[in-house]
């Protein structure tokens, strides 16, 4: 993919990753962890992926201002004025509006991809091919394009995108409906129909198209960042954004724009994707031993154990973990918290983290 000066990337890196508790904490969330054991964090992998296709100065990261130090530490060569700190979490619409307004001030001919910082993409060549196709389309058409993942199973943890079979090009289809996380029965009908895709939360559009969509569907956010624009790239930007963010409604780009807009298109895609949203999603992509156990960490001794995920923090060093006669568990050991959970009950991890924060304090959140 050629590096076009009019193409930009916006990486969203403000989430707290509460479903990956206790490894992911509010002070050090999962995008800044080497959760896959590759020697690089998810944030670093995402940034390096986009460096292959975008000019370094055309990559922006939007994160909570509390994590700006982590971004600078993990990406020391990134220009500081490309790291946008949110004073408070206001969901994805606000961070996209902020970054889009800032890019528009630099380049009115820009098109961009918006992507999370903490997803797994195994086939980067195929992924960047889809991105190039979508960017080329977005430059020529007033459209909002998303990459939809061809589903491999009736998963109830994802949103779904229904598309119209007739395509505008070989691979770009008009979106018919968005459906939030369905029941298993509904998800099964989606898979059988063949015209539903998983919503990966990856978007491609021209800056002029997304600004027009904000003006139509979220006019208050459009006005906020238009007014804030005078401060961009000046010493007043931080204080201005802090004041204006207070006025922002907390809403996702999906609810705020994508489900309402008429010019939404999708590319059915396959590039080895996982949102790594839960411990089980991590388990599914990790290598396993002969008994189906996925292990990260040294000195883990298993006896009659099957289909378990064991994640031991590096900080625990030579500590030995011995496990006997269990199956289908998530076991996460950190310096101050040990989690043992039935894999089928992992959706309750987020609530456990919340309860412990309330009872024992912020340091465990």
CATH code for the domain in which residue 15 is found: 3.90.550.10
Q: Give domain status of residue 88, yes or no.
A: yes
Q: What is the value of pTM for the model shown? A: 0.93
Query: How large is the average pLDDT for residues 12-30?
Result: 90
Q: Are residues 221 and 333 in the same domain?
A: no
Which pLDDT score, from 0 to 100, does residue 195 have? Answer: 86
Look at residue 16 and tell me whether its pLDDT is greater than 90: no
Q: Are residues 265 and 321 in the same domain?
A: no
Residue written as token pair 């459906």 = 179
Q: Are residues 91 and 154 in the same domain?
A: yes
Rg, C-alpha atoms of the chain: 21
Query: How large is the average pLDDT for residues 49-63?
Result: 97
Range of weakest confidence among 21-30, 57-66, 94-103, 161-170? 161-170
Q: Are residues 215 and 346 in the same domain?
A: no
Widest distance between CA atoms in the chain: 64
Query: How large is the average pLDDT for residues 181-210?
Result: 89
Which pLDDT score, from 0 to 100, does residue 5 have? Answer: 97
Q: Give domain status of residue 279, yes or no.
A: no
pLDDT confidence band for 340 (50 / 70 / 90)? very high
Look at residue 256 and tell me whether its pLDDT is greater than 90: yes
Q: Give domain status of residue 317, yes or no.
A: yes
* Last residue of one domain, picked from the residues 210, 244, 274: 274
Query: How large is the average pLDDT for residues 286-291?
Result: 95
Q: Give domain status of residue 238, yes or no.
A: yes
Range of weakest confidence among 81-95, 261-275, 343-357? 343-357
Q: Are residues 102 and 244 in the same domain?
A: yes
Read off φ and ψ for residue 47, nearest 5 degrees: -60, -45
Q: Are residues 191 and 313 in the same domain?
A: no
Q: Are 294 and 310 in contact (CB under 8 A)?
A: yes
Which pLDDT score, from 0 to 100, does residue 84 have? Answer: 96
Q: Are 310 and 300 in contact (CB under 8 A)?
A: yes
E-strand stretches of the chain: 7-12, 59-64, 83-86, 111-116, 120-121, 144-149, 160-167, 173-179, 196-206, 264-269, 273-274, 294-296, 300-306, 309-312, 321-327, 329-333, 338-342
Range of the domain at 301: 285-364
Q: Give domain status of residue 1, yes or no.
A: no
Q: Give domain status of residue 2, yes or no.
A: no
pLDDT confidence band for 208 (50 / 70 / 90)? very high
Collapse the DSSP code of 247 into the 3-class scheme (helix H, G, I; strand E, B; otherwise coil) and give the result.
coil
Q: How far apart are CA 311 and CA 294, in angstroms?
A: 8
Which pLDDT score, from 0 to 100, does residue 183 have? Answer: 81
Which pLDDT score, from 0 to 100, does residue 22 have? Answer: 94
Work out the angle at residue 187's Cα, subtended by the Cα atoms of residues 184 and 191, and round it to the nearest 5 degrees: 135
pLDDT confidence band for 193 (50 / 70 / 90)? confident
Q: Are residues 314 and 270 in the same domain?
A: no
* Last residue of one domain, picked from the residues 274, 294, 315: 274
Average pLDDT of the residues of the chain: 93
E-strand stretches of 225-337: 264-269, 273-274, 294-296, 300-306, 309-312, 321-327, 329-333
Q: Are residues 179 and 309 in the same domain?
A: no
Q: Are residues 244 and 308 in the same domain?
A: no
Look at residue 361 and tell me whether its pLDDT is greater than 70: yes
Which pLDDT score, from 0 to 100, does residue 167 have? Answer: 66
Query: How large is the average pLDDT for residues 99-105?
Result: 96
Angle between helices 219-228 and 91-106 (to 10 degrees): 40
Which pLDDT score, from 0 to 100, does residue 126 have? Answer: 97
More confident residue, 22 or 153: 22
Q: Are residues 49 and 190 in the same domain?
A: yes
pLDDT confidence band for 79 (50 / 70 / 90)? very high
- The per-residue pLDDT for range 222-238, each reduced to its tens digit, is 999 999 989 999 999 99
Q: Are residues 343 and 200 in the same domain?
A: no
For residue 22, whether the previous peptide bond is cis, meaning omega lies within 30 degrees of 0, is yes
The fraction of the chain above a pLDDT of 90, given in percent, is 76
What DSSP string runs through 125-189?
Answer: HHHHHHHHHHHHHHHHSS-EEEEEEPPSS--TTS-EEEEEEEESSSS-EEEEEEE-S--HHHHHH
* Last residue of one domain, picked from the residues 243, 274, 305: 274
Q: Are residues 217 and 136 in the same domain?
A: yes
Q: Give domain status of residue 351, yes or no.
A: yes
Which pLDDT score, from 0 to 100, does residue 56 have? Answer: 96
Q: Give domain status of residue 211, yes or no.
A: yes
Look at residue 363 and tell me whether its pLDDT is greater than 90: no
Closest to 35 measured CA to CA, from 335, 332, 347, 346: 332
Look at residue 1 and tell me whether its pLDDT is greater than 80: no
Look at residue 168 and tell me whether its pLDDT is greater than 70: no
Per the structure, the count of domains in the chain is 2
* DSSP percent split of the chain into helix, strand, coil, nearest 5: 40, 25, 35
More confident residue, 193 or 235: 235
């Amino acid at each position: 993919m050629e590096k076009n000066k009019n193409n930009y990337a916006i990486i969203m890196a403000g989430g707290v990753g509460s479903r990956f508790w206790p490894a992911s904490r509010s002070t050090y969330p999962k995008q800044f962890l080497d959760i896959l054991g590759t020697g690089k964090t998810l944030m670093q992998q995402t940034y390096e992926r986009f460096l292959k296709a975008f000019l370094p100065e055309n990559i922006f990261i939007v994160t909570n201002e509390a994590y700006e130090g982590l971004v600078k530490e993990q990406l020391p060569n990134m220009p500081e004025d490309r790291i946008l700190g949110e004073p408070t979490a206001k969901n994805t619409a606000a961070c996209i509006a902020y970054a889009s307004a800032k890019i528009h001030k630099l380049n009115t001919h820009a098109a961009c991809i918006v992507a999370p910082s903490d997803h797994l993409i195994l086939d980067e060549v195929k992924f960047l091919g889809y991105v190039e196709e979508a960017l080329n389309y977005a430059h020529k058409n007033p459209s909002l394009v998303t990459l939809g993942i061809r589903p491999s199973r009736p998963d109830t943890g994802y949103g779904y995108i229904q598309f119209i079979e007739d395509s505008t090009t070989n691979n770009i289809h008009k979106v018919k409906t968005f459906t939030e996380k369905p029941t298993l029965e509904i998800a099964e009908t989606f898979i059988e129909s063949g015209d539903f895709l998983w919503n990966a939360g990856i978007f491609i559009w021209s800056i002029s198209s997304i600004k027009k969509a904000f003006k139509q569907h979220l006019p208050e956010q459009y006005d906020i960042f238009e007014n804030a624009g005078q401060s961009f790239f000046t010493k007043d930007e931080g204080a201005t954004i802090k004041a204006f963010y207070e006025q922002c409604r907390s809403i996702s780009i999906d609810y705020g724009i994508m489900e309402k807009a008429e010019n939404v298109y999708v590319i059915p895609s396959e590039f080895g994707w996982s949102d790594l949203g839960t411990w089980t999603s991590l388990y599914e992509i990790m290598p396993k031993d002969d008994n189906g156990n996925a292990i990260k960490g040294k000195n883990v001794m298993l006896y009659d154990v099957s289909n378990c995920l064991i994640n031991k923090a590096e900080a625990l060093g030579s500590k030995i973990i011995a496990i006997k006669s269990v199956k289908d568990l998530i076991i996460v050991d950190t310096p101050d918290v040990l989690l043992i959970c039935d894999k089928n009950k992992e959706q309750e991890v987020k609530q456990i983290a919340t309860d412990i924060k309330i009872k024992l304090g912020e340091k465990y959140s």
